[in-house]
């Protein structure tokens, strides 16, 4: 896939975190989705022990301009 911004090649991968991945329409401090109007969790959590959680979404990244797309 070509980057819609610069035309560079998009690399397949994942966007991950040791905490929740949250999208919110509001600016400011990110709070848990249940406390922020319009917020949505985007992640999947693999079956892992409760003391080691990893959240991620599939993503594509353009090395040339740094754009990251998730789906």
Determine the Cα–Cα distance for residues 7 and 14; give it in Å rounded to an integer.
Answer: 20
pLDDT at 30: 64
User: Is 15 within a domain?
Assistant: yes
- Assigned domain for 2 exists: no
Distance, CA of 5 to CA of 36 (rounded, Å):
31
Question: Terminus-to-terminus CA distance in the chain, angstroms?
Answer: 13
Please indicate, yes or no, if residue 32 is contained in any of the structural domains. Answer: yes
Give the model's pLDDT for residue 8.
Answer: 96
Range 6-30 burial, b when 16+ CB lie within 10 A, else e: eeeebeeeebeeeeebbeeeeeeeb
Q: Which residue has the higher pLDDT, 33 or 59?
A: 59
Per-residue confidence (pLDDT) for residue 58, from 0 to 100: 86
pTM above 0.75, yes or no: no
* Residues spanned by the domain of 21: 10-70
Number of independent structural domains in the chain: 1
Q: What is the pLDDT of residues 3-23, one digit of tens each?
A: 999 999 999 988 877 777 777
Residue 5 counted as domain residue = no
Instruction: Give domain status of residue 4, yes or no.
Output: no
Q: 53 in helix, strand or coil? A: coil
Is 14 domain-assigned?
yes
């Amino acid at each position: 896939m070509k980057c819609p911004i610069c035309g560079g090649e998009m690399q397949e991968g994942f966007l991950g975190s040791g905490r929740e991945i949250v999208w919110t329409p509001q600016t400011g401090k990110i709070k848990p989705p249940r406390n922020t109007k319009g917020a949505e969790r985007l992640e999947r959590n693999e079956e892992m022990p409760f003391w080691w959680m990893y959240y991620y979404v599939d993503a594509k990244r353009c090395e040339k301009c740094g754009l990251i797309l998730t789906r």
